Structure 1
């Protein structure tokens, strides 16, 4: 039972992590689309007439068209990214098979509908099945859920058949070549069942969206709070994707096209001159709700931690807090600050989650209209300021200032009242900084192993690997946007104190074998360096 639970947990962690690749592309494409559409809009050209010339307008139109790539092909991007992220080896074959599986499923759906005599022009049939053009094929738009199903099935097929041996006469089709073949066959069969189950499943999802819509501004409140509460265990990506790309985040017609999902609605509206109420409502689940905490609240908490630190320790923690604030304000990455108080005072993190939810609620009540994904200063400028005063971007600095004050005084009171050991307030260790944590084994890396260079001038991968229990303790190694995700032989071998001395922000033990080490924005480089030193690399 424990093994099954651990395996399921690891799978969900890995699945959430795979969403990051297409979401990162979405963030970039959103900026391209936002800048291009805003600087070519009639309202902006009327005020900034120097932009109204053919070369510049062609450049802005090109930017808008480039930004549409993620929006137009989002499901197939997820169908490829999921097996790519879940595969341990031969990732390219896994991604290729994801595309093959996605195309095969939609061709099978088209075959079923055509055989049943479904009229692709009949509005009743279109509404019942959710018919749309998918990769140029008349199929059913299953959106994110269909893409996730394809990605997961293909990932399992890749794991099972990657080394498949065939009889001599068919040996050419064995091994890696068999993975896209079996993916095409399997997803063609799945595609025959999609028209039978999707109308019911789609209506259930639509009901969820309707229920959230009836909750009014409390829908965004619970969404924002839920995202923060799920963040420590890495499952927030799944909740976020549900609202961004399915009916749970809203649905409507934009420029004559049926669109579902908060982020999809927002991106569709950027390239459409006709306003849509559904798109305006959808931003309640997007960047605007995060900005109160990201641009104001968490920087206020960081300042409070700085002022509460021992004076002799302030110069030492200043760089840590400043880098966390920069990551939060500029990059929309909050973990480097949140993990400084999450494990010290979980109740304070709960209050933080409520305040983030209130940020979503207040933005919704005030009618702020700023979309995209990150909630950082770039989103405020591109999707707020550049889009004009109709976005009510000018309210965000006011809200952020209020949240800054609330967080600052709340954190300063909590730290001093309960003597919380935030950075710079820790007791001096009784042993040396390099001594192992209590109960940890005395493990060292092979002395003959090559010395690795510091990563980003700060992280020593050899020392980090030693603090992780040595190469033999690492059974699987991956990363998300800020964290190393590992399956280890024994989590008790990790030396938390030394990992923090080596630059880690926090160590999260999910169970005796699954752990996460919060590094920050440089985690990809650290993971790559560690992979070269371990057998799993």
Structure 2
């Protein structure tokens, strides 16, 4: 629930909010990848030869349709980012912000097209000229391909314009154009001018990203490890999406010619190869930064850590934590969501989390050295089946269970030794009895006692802003001392992260969207109730 804020947004909060907005297009991209992966694999000659029944025309029409629908995410990814960023960051009138994001993205490319036309570079169909100037056809416009980075810049500019002008009041003669209507108007002017500047400054941006990609490439086998470890270390602060987007969608993740088109970014390359009928197999240089690197830790390591925590719990407490650990393992293995397990030991044993981050990075390097080529985003069992098994032995999927089993044993031994040797208070080892959750509101769709959670956050009047990412509530509060961590944890919060005197994150898990919606609705009801006038007698 957006709310007006009194204090300035810190740079830390800004980047957290920016990273959170990436989740909307990335979630769609993950789904599109699965559709594309299933469709392309089941329509391939190798699978049809193995399972002739799948060659039936009706089946093939379905699989080709899945491939076409799945290719949507790859084809329109930049414009999705340009819309998702202002949509996610705007506090009010989010629909206007998203609409303005689309306007800004199109107008930026029109401005660039105008500059290139005036300079005599366009119009042309000469492939050498187009490649030399990095010109692509973007939404039907010949323009410089600024990729995801350009879309992110558009999104940020539109967000700043929206926050500045969505409540503007114009003179009566121009009042029709005021308020929210003014946002796309000023966006078209500002981004149109920015489009004129793009051809002058973009080579510098491209050079910087290329240098970052060269640095990662020069790290050799340690490149994937640096990426995997860095992502885990940034996760507790909610900043991992920035690093991930740079590798997945920019030149830092590599550049490759696929089906006659130059594409950049590890995930973009992988999905381009998925949808290209003439490509056989996947690029190892791209997949080394994708799902396969997570699989040792996600499919083996963290379940091993969960088993160690269960065995190290006091016997009388094991039945109390069994459901918590099982749900965490299911979320990790099936959904690729690791926070429900990681936050069980992150705060009580940061050194163990650091070791976990290093072992996750090592998993990326091991998968790369073994030549495994399984892509997509999540590192879960779905990615393993769809992008590994269904694409045949060329992906070397059969090595994943072996490495995952080694990671399972390693995590189990390390965690059990550390927990018992240093008496780490993982779930079930607390001196006092485990806190009992308050009765769940049976009318709650989320299954959480939202009124109690709101009270533990200090009440509606203590909350300045409320939002969520994939697993956690992200809040700004007036008075942090009014937040009761113990009550939040007793009501099924996995963890509570205090970032500064006003910024707070509450780790909920996969149901966080429902919890956030119910909190926002409850806050709205309380606000309306307190604002209702009292009738005089």
Q: How does 1:359-508 map to 2 (within 5 A)?
A: 359-428=363-432, 453=442, 455-456=444-445, 458-508=447-497
Deviation at 1:42, TM superposition (A): 1.1
Q: Secondary structure at the match of 1:313?
A: helix
Say whether the 8 Å CA contact 2:437–2:491 is kept in structure 1: no
| In structure 1, C-alpha distance between the alignment counterparts of 2:309 and 2:429, rounded to whole Å | 9
Structure 1 stretches of 5 or more lacking a match?
A: 436-450
**Structure 2 residue 37 is the aligned partner of structure 1 residue 34:** yes
Contact 2:297 2:360 in 1 (8 A): yes
Distance across 1 between alignment mates of 2:56 and 2:131? 43
Instruction: Give distance in 2, aligned partners of 1:112 and 1:522.
Output: 48
Q: CA deviation at 1:275?
A: 3.6
> Do the aligned residues in 2 keep the contact of 1:340 with 1:505 (CA within 8 Å)?
yes
1:403 Cα deviation from its structure 2 partner? 0.2
- Aligned position for 1:86: 89
**Alignment pair present for 1:194 and 2:193:** no
1:456-477 deviation line (CA, Å, top 9, x unaligned): 5641111111111111111100
Q: Contact (CA 8 Å) 2:90, 2:159: kept in 1 or not?
A: yes
**Kept after mapping to 1: 8 A contact 2:441/2:447:** no
Give distance in 1, aligned partners of 2:258 and 2:463: 49
Q: Secondary structure at the match of 1:481?
A: coil
Question: What SS does the corresponding residue of 2:474 show, helix, strand or coil?
Answer: strand
Which position in structure 1 is the counterpart of 2:69? 66
Q: How far apart in 2 are the matches of 1:259 and 1:125?
A: 17
Q: Per-residue displacement from partner, 1:200-247 (whole Å, max 9, x unpaired)?
A: 211221122122122222110100000000000000001000000001
2:532 corresponds to: none
Q: Which has the higher contact order (CA 8 A, sep 6+)?
A: 2
1:470-528 Cα distance to aligned partner (Å, 9 max, x none): 11111100000110000001112211111110110111000010010101111111111
Alpha-carbon distance in structure 1 between the residues aligned to 2:436 and 2:72: 50
Q: TM-score, normalised by structure 2?
A: 0.94
Deviations 1:153-174 (A, max 9, x none): 1111111111111122211111
| CA distance in structure 2 between the partners assigned to 1:272 and 1:281 by the alignment | 17
Query: Does structure 2 conserve the Cα–Cα contact (< 8 Å) formed by 1:452 and 1:460?
Result: yes
Distance in 2, matches of 1:523 and 1:457, equals 8
Aligned-partner SS, 2:288: helix
Which structure 2 residues correspond to residues 80-479 of structure 1 after superposition, within 5 A?
80-119=83-122, 120-275=124-279, 279-428=283-432, 453=442, 455-456=444-445, 458-479=447-468
CA distance in 2, matches of 1:31, 1:433: 40
Q: Return the TM-score normalized by structure 1.
A: 0.94
Per-residue CA shift, 1:258-303, capped at 9, x if unaligned? 0000000000001113347883310000000000000000000000
Counterpart Cα distance in 2 of 1:478 and 1:367 = 40
- Cα deviation code 1:352-388 (max 9, x no counterpart): 0000000000000000000000000000000000000
Contact 1:266 1:280 in 2 (8 A): no
- The total of aligned residue pairs comes to 519
Q: Distance in 1 between matches of 2:298 and 2:477?
A: 33
Alignment partner, residue 448 of structure 1? none
Q: 1:525 aligns with which of 511, 514, 531?
A: 514
1:145 & 1:305 partners in 2: Cα distance? 42
Q: What are the ranges of 5 or more consecutive residues in structure 2 without an aligned counterpart?
A: 1-5, 528-537
Secondary structure of 1:242 counterpart = helix
Greater shift in the superposed pair: 76-85 or 210-219: 210-219
SS of 1:285's partner is coil
Q: CA deviation at 1:33?
A: 0.2
Task: Give the whole-Å Cα distance in 2 for the aligned partners of 1:341 and 1:351.
Answer: 12
* CA–CA separation in structure 1 for the residues paired with 2:479 and 2:322: 34
8 Å contact from structure 1 (residues 39, 51) kept in 2: yes
Q: Which residue number corresponds to residue 442 of structure 1?
A: none
